[in-house]
Amino acid sequence: MPHVEIKCYPGRSEEQKIRCAEEVTKAITETMGCDASSVSVAIKEIEKEDWKAKVFDPQIASDEASLYKKPGYTCD
């Protein structure tokens, strides 16, 4: 507890992904009061042409009530 899954377009370096996971872990431990050993972070690359079908429609648009940070874009 907690587990974070980040989905993004391909193109980030391994170093960027590692730093992102470290910063997300830091933010979670500081704000949620848990130990870093309890945090897991996954980063999954999704191709741009698959974003709407694999991410936006099933996980963003259909689960809007649970979003604490909503995107500033649509996939119309």
Exactly one of 2, 10, 58, 71 is catalytic; name it.
2
pLDDT tens digit string along 24-39? 999 999 999 999 999 9
pLDDT at 76: 85
pTM here? 0.91
**Amino acid, single-letter form, for residue 61:** A
Give 32's Cβ-side CA count (13 Å radius): 15
β-bridge partners, 5: 42
- Return the SS3 of 7: strand
- Tokens found for residue 54: 């694999």
- Tokens found for residue 58: 């099933």
Q: What radius of gyration do the chain's Cα atoms show?
A: 14
Domains and CATH numbers, the chain: 1-45 (3.30.429.10), 48-76 (no CATH)
Query: Can 71 be counted among the known catalytic residues?
Result: no
